[in-house]
Chain A
Amino acid sequence: MKNSRREFIKVAGISALGVAAASPVLNALASGGEVAHEEKKVVVKEESSVDSPYKTNKSAIHGARWGMVINTSMIDAKKAAKITAVCHAIHNVPEIPNKKQEIKWIWPDKFEHVFPDKEDPYLAEKFKEMPVMALCNHCDNPPCVRACPTKATFKNSEGIVMMDFHRCIGCRFCMAACPYGSRSFNFSDPRKFLDPAKIDPAFPTRMKGVVEKCNLCAERLAIGKIPACVEASEGAIVFGDLADPKSEVRKLLNSNFTIRRKEALGTLPSVYYII
């Protein structure tokens, strides 16, 4: 028994080697010489990372772990609406009348909804009515990433939890995994709810059956701009590299008492709140 198994493995190994060695030859034979040559130009470069034809933009801004500090007392209902509108406009987020199907990247909510674990019957009135901006927390330990079977949701090298819409199969596991309701599902074609005159061609729309959420304006960081909500907040939201002790966000964390959403869950949000 033992002997024959060993024989089998030997033969299997040798055949595998043979196939591996023969495949370039077979490939060359399969596609006419000229075509193989043309296609190689593109493909070979992709494989060798040393000589990759791809680079990050010169104008891009980089961080080791991007994060935000939101100063809630500086945001009133009007500013909250403005911040939401700016983000949703540049990312072509549709406004869907049916509340159950709405799509949100950033939105104002009540304190008790954003911080349900800070429930307190004696919470001062002003906090009860104050709009608190909620968005994806770009968690350092993101459960949504672990849940996604296709790696459509992933954490990039700068700490942003990204969606690769090309890969999303709409299983919604990530939505079940996110404890903050940061994700929205496209129950129907979002373009039906977008004003064609207002669609921004600078950002693709989504399609039916895909999940979406805040991407921390990764497309803006790539061209050297800070997130749109930060710009629109007039100083109420500060953006920066949490890993850099000299960054503005770290300075704020040093000089203020801040809280994060549902800290006890261990998702390690990158969005901090000064109340």
Chain B
Amino acid sequence: MNDKKIAIAGLTVFIVLFTLPFWWNMAKAKPAPKPVISDKARAAGACIESKDVMAKSHMKLLDEWRVLAVREGKRTFVNSKGVEHNVSFSTGENSCLGCHNNKAEFCDKCHTYANVTPYCWDCHLDQKESAK
């Protein structure tokens, strides 16, 4: 019974230490960056789906695209409004990166913030990078 105080103190120290990384991150957390929309994308008026869908599900859509284009040869995507789009992430003007030609400000910004490192660019070429 005499050890009660010591035990509680020890536990408190343990819990604080154990959760320190969370506190640390919270203190450090910056607001999410806003991706910069390139002039070209802005001029196009709209993305293939609404901004909301793209922000939340672009990775799912791209995952579907790569399977359907490569494995089933289906390279035309009809969006929810019935408009057809070329199924391509990086090949030429008529592709995701063709419009979003500012990888650093558009893609990397959020990916870096969210600490995700998609390996798309191991193979797919950033138009600007390759133009250099």
- The answer to whether A202 touches B132, judged by C-beta atoms less than 8 angstroms apart, is no
Interface residues of B (CB under 8 A from A): 49, 52-53, 56-57, 60-61, 64, 66, 68, 70-80, 84, 87, 90-92, 119, 122-125, 127, 130-132
- The answer to whether B125 touches A222, judged by C-beta atoms less than 8 angstroms apart, is no
Interface range, A side: 35 or more
A39-B60, A165-B123 given; A199·B76 CB < 8 A: no
Let me know if A29 is at the binding interface, CB within 8 A: no
- The answer to whether B71 touches A164, judged by C-beta atoms less than 8 angstroms apart, is yes
> Which A residues are in CB contact (< 8 Å) with B56?
35, 38-39
A54-B68, A55-B78, A57-B75 given; A203·B122 CB < 8 A: no
* Closest partner residue, chain B, to A199 (CB atom): B130
Contact of B127 among A196, A201, A218, A222 (CB under 8 A): A201
> Which B residues are in CB contact (< 8 Å) with A202?
91-92
- In Å, the complex CA distance between A52 and B68 comes to 11
- The answer to whether B90 touches A204, judged by C-beta atoms less than 8 angstroms apart, is yes
Identify 7 new A-B residue pairs, CB closer than 8 A, beyond the known A35-B56, A38-B57, A202-B91: A38-B53, A156-B73, A162-B71, A165-B123, A196-B132, A201-B127, A201-B130
> Which B residues are in CB contact (< 8 Å) with A154?
71
- In Å, the complex CA distance between A42 and B75 comes to 16
Contact of A54 among B77, B80, B119, B123 (CB under 8 A): B77
> Which B residues are in CB contact (< 8 Å) with A166?
66, 70
> Which A residues are in CB contact (< 8 Å) with B79?
53
- The answer to whether A53 touches B77, judged by C-beta atoms less than 8 angstroms apart, is yes
> Which A residues are in CB contact (< 8 Å) with B80?
41, 53
Interface residues of A (CB under 8 A from B): 35, 38-39, 41-43, 46, 52-58, 60, 154, 156-158, 162, 164-166, 196, 199, 201-207, 218-219, 222
Determine how close the nearest CB of chain A comes to the CB of B42; give it in whole angstroms: 21
- In Å, the complex CA distance between A57 and B71 comes to 14
- In Å, the complex CA distance between A134 and B77 comes to 36
Total contacts A to B, CB within 8 angstroms? 89
- In Å, the complex CA distance between A35 and B124 comes to 29
> Which B residues are in CB contact (< 8 Å) with A164?
70-71
A56-B75, A156-B73, A158-B73 given; A204·B57 CB < 8 A: no
Determine how close the nearest CB of chain A comes to the CB of B81; give it in whole angstroms: 11
- In Å, the complex CA distance between A204 and B127 comes to 11
> Which B residues are in CB contact (< 8 Å) with A162?
70-71
Determine how close the nearest CB of chain A comes to the CB of B53; give it in whole angstroms: 6
A54-B87, A204-B123 given; A43·B60 CB < 8 A: yes
A38-B53, A42-B60, A203-B91 given; A54·B72 CB < 8 A: yes
Contact of A157 among B73, B122, B125 (CB under 8 A): B73
Among B61, B80, B123, B127, chain A packs the most CB atoms within 10 A around the CB of B123
A39-B57, A43-B60, A201-B127 given; A207·B77 CB < 8 A: no
- The answer to whether B73 touches A42, judged by C-beta atoms less than 8 angstroms apart, is no
